[in-house]
Amino acid sequence: MLPQRLKKTITDNPKKLANLIDLVNLPSPVREFVGQSQISRLGCFMRVWSYIKENNLQDPNNKNLVNCDEKLKSILLGKSRVELAELPALIKLHFPKVPKSAT
């Protein structure tokens, strides 16, 4: 029994779903980071998040914060500290915005 607002998340909206999982040709910084020429937004997020975990980039005092290393900085707007809460939004910036008039 999903609350109404969450139902609108993804399953009802094929455009949003596509936006999340379609493979996209990437600008170079991201391409370097993931080592692939194409990736979906979802895939990119998963990669970044596991990168953070593997390299223990979370601040030990406050796990909600991430101390970015050079590689990460290159794709997260050069920020040295990033909040976990912002992560999806930052990654989204790399992905082309689907113009509303399309399709």
Partner 1 sequence: MGKVPPSFRPAISNSLTRKFPLETPIPNHIPEKITRKKPPHHSRKPEASLASGKAETLFKSPELSSAKKVFNYIVATTKSSIDLRFHNTLLRSYASISTLHDSISLLHHMLKTQPLFSPDRSTYPSCSPNPVTTDIAIRSLCEVGRIDHAVELVKELSLKQSPPDTYTFNFLVKNLCKCRTLSTVYGFIDDMKSSFDIKPDLEVIEVYKKMKEEGVEPDLVTYNTLIFGLSKSGRRRECIGCSCFVGEMERKGCTPNSCTYNTLLHGLCKCRLMEKGMELYGAMKSAGMKLETASYATLVRALCREGRVAEAYDVFDYAVESKSLTDVAAYSTLEVTLKWLKKARQQGLAV
Instruction: Report the interface residues with partner 1, using CB under 8 A.
Output: 1-3, 5-6, 9-11, 16-17, 20-21, 42, 45-46, 49, 58, 63-64, 83-89
Query: Whole-number minimum distance, CB 6 to partner 1, in Å?
Result: 5
Shortest Å, Cβ 65 to partner 1: 9
The C-alpha atoms of residue 29 and residue 31 are separated, in whole angstroms, by: 5
Q: How does DSSP assign the chain, residue by residue?
A: ---HHHHTTTTT-HHHHHHHHS-EEPPHHHHHHHTSSEE-HHHHHHHHHHHHHHTT-B-SS-TTEEE--HHHHHHTTT-SEEEGGGHHHHHHTTSPPPPTT--
Give min distance, CB of 41 to partner 1, in A: 9
Q: State how far Cα 41 lies from the chain centre.
A: 6
Q: Which is nearer to partner 1, 45 or 51 (CB)?
A: 45
* CB of 1 or CB of 28, closer to partner 1: 1
In terms of CB distance, is 89 or 102 closer to partner 1?
89
100/101 with CB nearer partner 1? 100
